[in-house]
């Protein structure tokens, strides 16, 4: 089995979400009934990843360490790394170079929300020993994302184009990337773009040119929202609310995922539920034990 680690990029200044983010890191904002950071953490846990690093601003380290003061209660380990100034997604690999070592890595952007039945099955087979695996998702506004240009003959990824000004395709690349440890050395080859950042599209294009990338389409029933704007944050909350009300499940609960993965015991789940006594989330965790 491939040894893998996970990285949540939770830095940045949240400029598009101001005034909400004037004094609070955006990844701590609520997405319906849970802080946003629970969602990318849950995504990594669904992929079977237990060794996780959260990259954030120096001033936010204490907030995250307070929130996840005992990660062993979730059967995982969490390390906190600092990003002094946001310089693009690939910078995360450079910051986490020692953490990654020779392990495969899954990098997720902290404001990317994934929900839906079957997500765990999809993610659990996505870890790669080398090369890259990414996903595509059809969107109505591809000009706002990195999109996949497909080769018309082979239908394989030919190039990733960042926020194209003219239509290339409607297949956006969500902020979730599975790679081998070689990603660190590839990230070192990148130059700063005209936007003043290291571009994830440039990194993925290196994998394409090397013939080392696999693109999978998310199946129907899996939803993805980049909750980086006021409207998308609101939409994400509504989506989670509707799905949970209709299906009776709480999506992206790290506590439940850890328990279902057999990373924590029934007794630990009960202890965890008591941290949320008097809330719907706490009652949900408690009821999981009674319906087994």
Helices 280-290 and 266-274: crossing angle in degrees, nearest 10, is 160
| 283 and 177 in a common domain | no
208 vs 91: CA distance, rounded Å: 19
| 242 and 272 in a common domain | no
Rounded to two decimals, the pTM is: 0.94
| 272 and 251 in a common domain | no
- pLDDT tens, 109-141? 999 999 877 788 888 888 999 999 999 888 888
Q: Residue 145 falls within a domain, yes or no?
A: no
| 287 and 215 in a common domain | no
pLDDT at 292 over 70: no
| 285 and 212 in a common domain | no
Enclosing domain of residue 288: 265-292
31: three-class secondary structure by DSSP:
strand
| 124 and 31 in a common domain | yes
| 131 and 74 in a common domain | yes
| 95 and 42 in a common domain | yes
Q: Residue 161 falls within a domain, yes or no?
A: no
Dihedral, 43, 49, 55, 59 alpha carbons, nearest 10 = 80
In total, how many domains does the chain have? 2
Q: Residue 204 falls within a domain, yes or no?
A: yes
Average pLDDT over residues 253-260: 96
| 122 and 68 in a common domain | yes
Q: Are 50 and 76 in contact (CB under 8 A)?
A: yes
- pLDDT tens, 143-187? 888 899 887 777 788 899 988 888 888 899 999 999 999 999 999
| 252 and 200 in a common domain | yes
137 token code pair = 């998702």
| 128 and 109 in a common domain | yes
Q: Residue 232 falls within a domain, yes or no?
A: yes
| 232 and 180 in a common domain | yes
- pLDDT tens, 79-118? 999 998 889 999 999 999 999 999 999 999 999 999 877 7
Confidence of residue 261 (pLDDT cuts 50, 70, 90): very high
């Amino acid at each position: 089995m491939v040894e893998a680690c996970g990285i949540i990029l939770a830095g940045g200044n949240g400029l598009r979400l101001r005034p909400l983010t004037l004094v609070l890191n955006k990844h701590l904002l609520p997405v319906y009934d849970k802080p946003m950071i629970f969602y990318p953490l849950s995504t990594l846990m669904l992929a079977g990843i237990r060794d996780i690093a959260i990259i954030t601003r120096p001033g936010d380290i204490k907030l995250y360490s307070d929130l996840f003061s005992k990660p062993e209660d979730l059967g995982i380990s969490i390390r906190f790394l600092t990003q002094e100034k946001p310089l693009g997604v690939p910078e995360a690999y450079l910051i986490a170079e020692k953490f990654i070592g020779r392990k495969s890595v899954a990098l997720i952007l902290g404001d990317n929300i994934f929900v839906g039945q079957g997500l765990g099955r999809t993610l659990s087979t996505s870890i790669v020993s080398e090369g890259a695996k990414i996903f595509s998702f059809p969107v109505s506004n591809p000009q706002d994302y990195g999109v996949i240009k497909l080769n018309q003959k082979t239908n394989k990824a030919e190039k990733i184009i960042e926020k194209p000004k003219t239509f290339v395709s409607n297949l956006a690349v969500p902020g979730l990337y599975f790679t081998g440890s070689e990603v660190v050395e590839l990230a070192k080859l990148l130059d700063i773009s005209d936007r003043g950042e290291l571009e994830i599209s440039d990194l993925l294009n290196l994998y394409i040119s090397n013939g080392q990338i696999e693109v999978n389409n998310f199946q129907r029933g899996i939803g993805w929202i980049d909750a980086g704007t006021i409207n998308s944050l609101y939409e994400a909350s509504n989506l989670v609310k509707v799905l949970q009300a209709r299906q009776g499940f709480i999506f992206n609960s790290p506590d439940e995922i850890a328990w279902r993965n057999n990373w924590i015991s029934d007794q630990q789940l009960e202890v965890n539920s008591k941290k949320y006594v008097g809330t719907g989330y706490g009652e949900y965790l408690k009821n999981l034990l009674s319906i087994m």
